[in-house]
Structure 1
Amino acid sequence: MNDIVHRSSGALADSTMLADLTTIRVGGPAHELFRPTTENELVDTVRTVWQRGDHWLLIGGGSNMVVADEGFDGTVIHIATRGIDVVSQDDNSLRIRVQAGEPWDRLVERLVARGWAGMEALSGIPGSVGAAPIQNIGAYGQEVSSALEGIDFLDYSSGKLVHLSTAELELGYRTSVIKRGRVGVVVAAHFALTASPTSTARYQQLATALSVNVGDEVPVQQVRDTVLALRASKAMVLDPNEPDSVSCGSFFTNPIVPENIARALPADAPRWVIDDEPVADIVVPLGETPAPPPPPKQRMVKLSAAWLIEHSGVPKGFRLPGSRAAVSTKHSLAIVNRTGATAAEVSELSRYIAALVLSRYGIRLQPEPVAVGVELT
């Protein structure tokens, strides 16, 4: 496993156009751009920018971001720190520390190739390691929280480099304490993996593609290969040679709504109960009158954003007249840049889709990308 350890260095970016740093390829210039390539440079640069009182913006892999055509009138820090360190290892387990700028899928690829299980279903997700815990990335029955032990975090309020455990991160569906407002910079992430030749198929679509049942064990490399094929079929693997992949990946999160709202949808609308907790037994001594039971808890249900979009009248490949932004021809959740689209065109299409879904079903879609100077809904 020692050959996974590596280092790289870099220099300041040649261009300050933020379109060059984002996967959807929109965004104007940055007033000032730093590209720290070592951990010490990153910490020192961020502290200096904070001390100067600059308006600041972090960019890692740039896969989850839509930046305005006017650019960013402040300081941009493009995190290019890379490195994977083995913290501990035995025959059954591996603990690693990964710097924030490490490309996510390259990390997963290396781990799977060496027989370490725990993140194989997260293959093909674009972006960098530092962004993964911020929104608790997940796919096909796995979330990063299942392997994450914690992060090293440069805290804005104190200026100190601290360690936050997974409990302190308060991870949820595509969210964390950082996404909800704790300000700072992810410097590195800590993961724990298991030595295993197989992985459990936990998601029906993945199990179907593997020709197995949910709960069956499948070779980890086969899981990765199948996930990559599934994502590619939906234009969710960012390939510079594929026009349908110039995007942010998934543009909207799947809505989570109370069960009574889900029941109002047509019967064929996909839905998944996400907190169906069993009712605890109540023991009452003989001769005593039991207390009235508590009112039933309102269950929450996850819906398919793709289904809502398509059934609101937005087909795959849809674009507004004259716009170079379009819905992917492969998947309704991806908004793609059809060569030369502007952030304004991406924003206009996003707001149009969200308005149609709200009008048709009364459900407000939430964009997944970070909006910098633009309105996406």
Structure 2
Amino acid sequence: MELASFTTAGVGGPARKLVATGSEQEIIDAVGAADDAGEPLLILAGGSNLIISDAGFDGTVVRITSSGFTVNDDDATCGGVMVKVQAGQDWDELVEYTVRHAFSGLETLSGIPGSTGATPVQNVGAYGSDVSQTIATVRTWDRETRTIKSFTNFELKFGYRTSLLKHTTVNGSPRYVVLSVEFQLGLGRMGKPIKYAELARALDLPVGGRAYATDVRRAVLKLRSAKGMVLDPPDRDTWSTGSFFTNPIVSDSEASVLPVDAPRFPAGEEGKVKLSAAWLIENAGFTKGFGLETPRDKGTGGSSGSDAGVHSVGGRASLSTKHTLAVTNRGGASAEDLLRIARLVADGVERVFGVRLHPEPLLISCSL
């Protein structure tokens, strides 16, 4: 079966073997069977952060479909509630539930597609928050020792869009397979202080101000929808992996040679700053909708990085018409089409500014 149907970008060739797993034990059994057979292994859940090769995956794909969560509010010492979530649980369904039940901490992460089990791997974040701020523990299957292993927040070594779980994953094959995630959330209808200026403006608040979590969720969904970052099948701008590139973190000296109006943000590391990938892309000359010609036979060739078959707007693959950080499937695009757009953008930014952009999604059996 083509894996494209299980990814938000709508690309990816066939799997040699596809196994659906709806419980923790089924996940462990399927992973163990693949390991016993010496098969390459790919873990797939929401498919929102993957670009899978057009050739597909020559091994076992374990599709995690476990769902559900439990709330424990018995322990008053934690200052809130503990919510244990199965790895395959839809992320935004969880966020909506927590907001409606006055559990605070996840409201700014509304509208992000994908599964809960993927969130600690990438340390998923948006609008000034990330999951490292609320994750208490992650329960995993350690494929090396063949035992259950639980990690505390500290042990996960969270960083910007990364974690120990990501560092120990190769080509979509993790050492530690996430089984469930436990969050510690506050109690109350007010959301956490708003750290992100764009969201603060949308809520008519100063940075650091607070609003009802329901209002925060509504504002976040509106902002994300305007950028094509909330899944909506009729809207081709949402056929993507979300932001394709991470915001680059560079040294102060590297940042000093950039134009003075290039945005800079604290990176959490001494002597380093975070840049805006979107600003770099746009100011390197790539507009919203920058894409490939269609149909395929109009000079697209096959050489990666070539500008043949590229024009300013439209085509079967392009940057989003709403947001230059997303590479989108306009209909009939291949994985290579999306990667070609990404290569052109990354090469162009490096040529103009000397900064190399790096992909946020996992690239399975393919590369930039």
Deviation readout 1:64-121 (Å, 9 max, x if unpaired): 0001111111110010011201233468611011000001111000000111101100
Equivalent-residue separation in structure 2 for 1:47 and 1:96 (angstroms): 28
**Residue 160 (structure 1) aligned with residue 159 (structure 2):** no
Letter in 2 for 1:161: I
1:74 maps to which residue? Answer: 59
**What is the number of equivalent residue pairs in this alignment?**
340
Matches within 5 A, 1:106-255: 106-181=93-168, 183-199=175-191, 200-255=193-248
Equivalent-residue separation in structure 1 for 2:266 and 2:86 (angstroms): 35
2:303 maps to which residue? Answer: none
Equivalent-residue separation in structure 2 for 1:154 and 1:201 (angstroms): 35
1:269 maps to which residue? Answer: 262
Give every structure 1 segment of 4 or more consecutive aligned residues whose post-TM-superposition deviation is greater than 6 Å: none
Could you say what the CA RMSD is over the residues aligned between the two structures, in angstroms?
Answer: 1.3
Normalised to the residue count of structure 2, the TM-score between the two structures is 0.90
Q: How much does 1:275 deviate?
A: 3.1
1:320 maps to which residue? Answer: 292
Equivalent-residue separation in structure 2 for 1:166 and 1:52 (angstroms): 33
Letter in 1 for 2:137: G
Letter in 2 for 1:317: G
Q: How much does 1:157 deviate?
A: 1.1
Unaligned runs of 5+ in 2: 170-174, 295-314
1:306 maps to which residue? Answer: 278
Contact kept? 1:238, 1:249, Cα under 8 Å: no
Deviation readout 1:191-231 (Å, 9 max, x if unpaired): 11111111211111110111110111100000000001111
Q: How much does 1:148 deviate?
A: 0.2
**Residue 100 (structure 1) aligned with residue 87 (structure 2):** yes
Letter in 2 for 1:142: S
Contact kept? 1:238, 1:247, Cα under 8 Å: no
SS state at 2:164 partner:
coil
Equivalent-residue separation in structure 2 for 1:174 and 1:53 (angstroms): 30
1:8 maps to which residue? Answer: none
Equivalent-residue separation in structure 2 for 1:90 and 1:336 (angstroms): 45
Unaligned runs of 5+ in 1: 1-15, 277-297
Q: How much does 1:274 deviate?
A: 2.4
Equivalent-residue separation in structure 2 for 1:36 and 1:224 (angstroms): 31
- Which moves more between the two structures, 359-368 or 265-274? 265-274
**Residue 342 (structure 1) aligned with residue 334 (structure 2):** yes
Instruction: Give the fraction of aligned pairs with identical amino acids, expressed as a percent.
Output: 44
Deviation readout 1:276-330 (Å, 9 max, x if unpaired): 7xxxxxxxxxxxxxxxxxxxxx511000000000111110011033351100010
Deviation readout 1:336-366 (Å, 9 max, x if unpaired): 1001100110111111110001111111101
Larger Rg over CA atoms: 1
**Residue 48 (structure 1) aligned with residue 20 (structure 2):** no
SS state at 1:58 partner:
strand
Contact kept? 1:324, 1:339, Cα under 8 Å: yes
